[in-house]
Amino acid sequence: MQIGVPQEIKNHEYRVGLTPASVRELCAHGHSVRVQSGAGAAIGLSDEDYRAAGATLVPDAASVFAQAEMIIKVKEPQAQELTMLRPGQILYTYLHLAPDAALTAALVKSGAVCIAYETITGPNRTLPLLAPMSEVAGRMAVQAGATHLEKSRGGMGVLLGGVPGVPAAHVVILGAGTVGANAVQMAVGMGARVTVLNRSMEKLRTLDALYGNRIHTLLASAHNIEQSVLDAELVIGSALVTGATAPKLVSRALVSRMKQGAVMVDVAIDQGGCFETSHPTTHADPTFVVDGVVHYCVANMPGNVARTSTFALNNATLPHALALAGKGWQQAMREDPHLRHGLNIAQGHVTHEAVAQQLGYAYVPAEQLLD
């Protein structure tokens, strides 16, 4: 198969769809890989590294899209990329369609086969292609929150871990999945006072077994969320419903009652955000203030640690890339129901139920397109 890797063009996005090591693996299986010149330069992956791995370097994104049967990216296609997609072409990337009606409509119109990293499943309902970026984002959320608690960044001027004689900041983490668990690890390590809330008591028991009395665990009831958020200096939102818009856990009214200069980091912003006051921001302009509360809602947080994120992501995405390239998308999905769950749009149809329900499309099960 002819595989294409364009340079990412989203604001401050420096990740790249394939590393040279992944290119080498695909070429070893008989596939041809075309990489846009400079695609990995920002994270120290040179054109020569890609050539040595077997890639063909092409000068621009238009050449990549024109020549490739499958496009491997990191972030959802931007406006100028959408016009280059064609019917039957495979797009393999993060999509996060539920909160983005315009992107969904453009992908439906393109006729492309659009496979979303974030809805590919694994055993026990895990999300193995979302997990590595969730790990990164969970750890970054605490760092970002700590930075923006500084007075010069608009925060209340609190050191996350405190000092002897001065209490540590209270970090409240909404959600105990991969993002939440990694945020807990970082917040505990930095000496914060940590409360984590989740609907699953099993996940709370797991965290309690790991951290004991170094954290507080609470069931994510409306009362517990309200009381915890009002006492917090830093709130991290990580609620996730696979493929659907994130639930709104913190209302505008509750934000208005929070401490002045508190910080909210909405890691769920790719899926619409779990704070009612959230809207997407960029690394160039990461925060805004509502009722005296600093909101950090960057939609591609892992892009700021692009080298770490690229290698972590490739560890997860490469096996499915090999399957798609080697068998074609239909046969690969017939054989692997986990990969089949990643099919969001194909041949003008919406094939992920949560996306269809959220945006008002007729739902066409992927199985109907595999026969």
Q: Which residues have a Cβ under 8 Å from the Cβ of 304 and sit 6 or more positions away?
A: 12, 140, 283, 298
C-alpha 15/C-alpha 279 separation (Å) is: 23
Residue 270 among the catalytic residues: yes
C-alpha 211/C-alpha 25 separation (Å) is: 40
Provide the token pair at 323. 């399957």
C-alpha 268/C-alpha 254 separation (Å) is: 18
- Residue at token pair 């965290």: 207
Q: How far is CA 81 from the centre of its chain?
A: 20
CB 295 within 8 A of CB 269: no
Q: Of these residues, 49, 100, 266, 270, which one is catalytic?
A: 270
Q: At what angle do helices 306-327 and 131-148 cross, to 10 degrees?
A: 160
Closest listed residue to residue 70, CA positions, set 121, 125, 31:
31
Where would I find the H helices in the chain?
20-28, 47-53, 61-67, 79-82, 101-110, 131-148, 178-189, 201-211, 222-231, 252-255, 306-327, 329-335, 337-340, 353-359, 366-370
C-alpha 136/C-alpha 11 separation (Å) is: 18
Residue 279 among the catalytic residues: no
Three-class secondary structure of residue 215 per DSSP = strand
Q: Of these residues, 31, 96, 148, 320, which one is catalytic?
A: 96
DSSP string covering 226-246, please? HHHHHH-SEEEE----TTSPP
CB 272 within 8 A of CB 246: yes
Cα–Cα–Cα angle for 50, 53, 54, nearest 5°? Answer: 95
- Residues tagged active-site: 96, 270
